[in-house]
Amino acid sequence: MARKPKSRLCAFELGAQTDMELEPAPADRDWMDQTHQRYAYRCLPLVIANQAGWIIRNPLDFSVRWNGGNQLDDLKIRFPRGVPETRIRSHFGHGS
């Protein structure tokens, strides 16, 4: 049986900190498994994104609240110690 070659990804930190671990993401997702008859797996773009995805581990805990709006400030990020981490922020609005 032929061995699958290891995937390789080069990632570059844009800042001085290097505490956000990077690892390959699993192709399966618990929330997708829990959809009726695993229906979420019928969305090809979502499946492809999962197969090529990566997990970036956050360096600290935080909570997020979205009010349903489309603006950047419609998403509120709170940090337990009250000190914001500038790498954790909304980039696009629409809750993302």
Q: pLDDT per residue over 40-89, tens digit each?
A: 899 898 888 888 888 888 888 899 999 999 898 999 999 988 888 888 88
What confidence score (pLDDT) does residue 3 get? 66
SS3 state of residue 55: strand
Mean local confidence (pLDDT), 23-45: 88
Q: What is the mean pLDDT of residues 31-43?
A: 90
Contact assessment for residue 49 and residue 32, using Cβ atoms and an 8 Å cutoff: no
- The domains of the chain are located at 21-57, 60-96
Q: Is the pLDDT at 37 greater than 90, yes or no? A: yes
* Residue 70 vs residues 57, 74, 89: alpha-carbon distances, Å: 26, 7, 15
pTM of full prediction above 0.75 = no
* Model confidence at 94: pLDDT above 80: no
